[in-house]
Structure formats: C-alpha cells, structure tokens
Amino acid sequence: MDKQRLISLLKSIAGRDSEALRCFYREFGGTIHKTACRILKDGAAAEDILNETLYKVYEKAEFLSGLKSPAGYICVIAYNLAMDQKRKARETVGLEAISDTAEPKNGETAVLEKIFIDGILENFAEPDRSIFILKASFEYTFNEIKKALNLKELSYKQIRNKYEKTKDLFKTYYKQGNP
C-alpha cells in the first residue's frame, strides 16, 4: 500500500469513517495476518490478532497518521499482540502438564501414572515445582522461566540450581515408586 494512501485512510479512520476502516482492512489486512501467522502458525489465531490490530488502529488512527512509517508501526502492533498471545499460551501450566505430555499407555495405566506424577509434584514447593514443569515439559530456557514466573529476585544460576535439585528429587521419588 502506498504511504500517502495509508495516511489518508488513517486520517479518515480517525474521523470515524467506517468505509475507510473497511478499505484499510482490504488493503492492509493481509500484511497484518501474515505477520501474526508467521509467529503463531495458526490461521484462526492470526485472524484474532488481525481483529485486535484493527481495533488498535481504530483507536490510534490520529496518532498513526502523523508517523513517518505508520505501516511499520502497525506491523509492530500486530507482532507484539501475536507474541503476547504466544507467551500467554506457553505460560498456561498446571500440575497435570508433565503427565499430559507423556504418551498414554492404556487408559488405566495412564491414569495411575498421572496420579503418581501429580503426587510427586505436590511434594515440591513453589517456585521449584513450576520451574521443573516449565523446563522438563515445555523446554523453557532459564531466562524464559525467570520472566514467565516473574522471579526477579533469583539469578539465572539460582534458577538452574533449583531445577537441578528438583529434577534429582523427582528422579529419586520416581525410582522409589512412592511420592
């Protein structure tokens, strides 16, 4: 889309012209959708990001029309929204996470193993339990764990040590066969 055309549409959107918003969607929506799709790898989720971005453009149209590169700024909005959604999806962790990632055996054995693993995990205090789950099940880096759990007071090394200690205890409990 031409920069002048985009600025003209943004000025019209700032004046609450709904037709201008529809034109913006037709002409620039594909770019926003592709940006979100590259991050989320999910067309439906990217569509949600497109809608959220359109709402933000509608809210900030006057500000955007005064920028040197409104197209770049709009793509940054879409990128940030998609990354936020991706982070939120990764941060959704419960006690069942570690056992849910295992291949189910038969129904009864899988349930018993899940109960057994949950029993082991219940022995660990926070944040040790969450550190272990994020690292073991979701392969978070220690820096990602620090951010996800908001562990500002702990260093990278302290988080790694907590993980190693919890991992060793988990192995011990698992080998013994009792939580």
Average pLDDT rounded to a whole number, residues 76-93: 77
Report the C-alpha gap between 133 and 139 in whole angstroms.
9
Per-residue model confidence (pLDDT) at position 179: 47
Task: Give the domains, in start order, of the chain with CATH numbers.
Answer: 3-91 (1.10.1740.10), 97-176 (1.10.10)
Q: With 70 as the cut, is the pLDDT of residue 173 above it?
A: yes
Maximum separation of any 2 CA atoms in the chain, in Å: 70
Per-residue model confidence (pLDDT) at position 125: 83
Contact by Cβ (8 Å): 46, 29: no
Q: What is the CB neighbour count within 10 angstroms for residue 20? A: 19
Q: With 60 as the cut, is the pLDDT of residue 36 above it?
A: yes
Q: pLDDT per residue over 49-69, tens digit each? A: 999 999 999 999 999 898 888
Against a cut of 0.75, is the pTM above it? no
Q: pLDDT per residue over 146-155, tens digit each? A: 877 788 888 8
DSSP for 88-152? Answer: HHHH---TTHHHHTSPP-SHHHHHHHHHHHHHHHHTSPTTHHHHHHHHHHH---HHHHHHHTT-T
- Of 130, 137, 133, 135, the closest CA to residue 101 belongs to 137
Average pLDDT rounded to a whole number, residues 155-168: 87
Contact by Cβ (8 Å): 60, 13: no
Contact by Cβ (8 Å): 163, 155: no
pLDDT-wise least confident of 34-43, 62-71, 82-91, 167-176: 82-91
